[in-house]
Amino acid sequence: MKSIFNTDNNAEIINRINQLSAISPAQWGSMDCAQMMAHCQLAMNMAFGNTKASRHWIGVLFGQIAKRRILKVKQLDRHMPAFVTLRVTDDCDFETEKRKFITIIQLALQKGEAGLVKYPHPYFGTFKSGEWAQLNWKHLDHHLRQFGA
């Protein structure tokens, strides 16, 4: 499984981000490209403990089942709903979000898996570091594919 903590894979993600433009059309979903990059940053910030979301009751009940499914599949399904805490609906500046997105991807390589949080994901519960790495890769890949990159 690819990982943003691997130098070559990290560079691959950044190259894919650089393929995007403000007018890159979404293949699915309701976010525009700048909103998608802001959304991915929110998820990355949660993974690195820069923001914390409390557990959702649905996650407490069904999170472990959902986590096993997500870790098992090769790619995330289209049209998966974003968690409420990670939804971006405001207008975002493409160049600003792109710069911030690339910065957080680069920081992930510097911090490594040791920089990942130890408290539970709001829906999926507790992750081992390798599982966080898998989820991050699948999430970023999902959204870059969403915009053709």
pLDDT tens-place string over residues 50-96:
887 788 888 788 888 888 888 898 888 887 777 777 889 999 999 99
Q: Are 36 and 145 in contact (CB under 8 A)?
A: no
Count the Cβ atoms, other than its own, within 10 Å of residue 6. 14
CB under 8 Å to 120, separation ≥6 — which residues? 55, 126, 127
Whole-prediction pTM: 0.90
**Bridge partners (DSSP) listed for residue 125:** 121
Mean pLDDT for the chain overall: 90
